[in-house]
Amino acid sequence: MSDNKNLLSGVRVIESSLLGPGHVATFFSDLGADVIKVEPPSGDYIRAMTWPIVEGVSLLHLHTHRGKKSITLNLKSEEGKQLYKDLVATADVVVEAMRPGALARRRRSSPAPCRARSRRGSSGRARSTSCPG
């Protein structure tokens, strides 16, 4: 059996989701990708959603988001929007599960700017189908 732990080593994933949809990025982390989870200033409510609570954090959160780094950004502020764009510019993959139209309302729904800023360019190993621009 081959070792898949480092299969995605060197790949950066930015995840912007709450609850279950973010679980897909956990699998990228399991395969060695650098996954950065972007949370609202209040944090992901899954942290306190279910028991058991381990050292102040739900076991569900610990399982669903294992291996990820986490940052908080206020995507409603201009500073938060710019920081998010800068972060996305360093990504190979963007996983987002916001409400329909949320990215468009923040003027970040066009995939063209993301392709232009991707650090892997047109020969990248992975692409987002909904890339915040």
Give the pLDDT of residue 90.
95
pLDDT in tens, the chain (133 residues): 457 788 999 999 999 887 667 888 999 999 999 999 999 998 887 777 777 888 888 888 888 889 999 999 998 899 998 999 999 999 999 998 877 877 677 655 444 444 444 445 443 444 444 444 4
What fold, for 12-123? Rossmann fold (3.40.50)
In our burial notation (b when 16+ CB lie closer than 10 A, e otherwise), range 5-21 reads: eeebeebbbbbbbeeee
Residues 6+ apart with CB under 8 A from 22: 15, 37, 44, 64, 65, 95, 97
Question: Distance from first CA to last CA of the chain, Å, rounded?
Answer: 40
Give the pLDDT of residue 45.
77
Phi, psi (degrees; rounded to nearest 5) at 7 = -55, -40
What SS3 class is residue 13? strand
Residue carrying structure tokens 């395969």: 31
Give the pLDDT of residue 26.
93
Rounded CA separation 71/43 (Å):
9
Give the pLDDT of residue 47.
77
Give the pLDDT of residue 12.
97
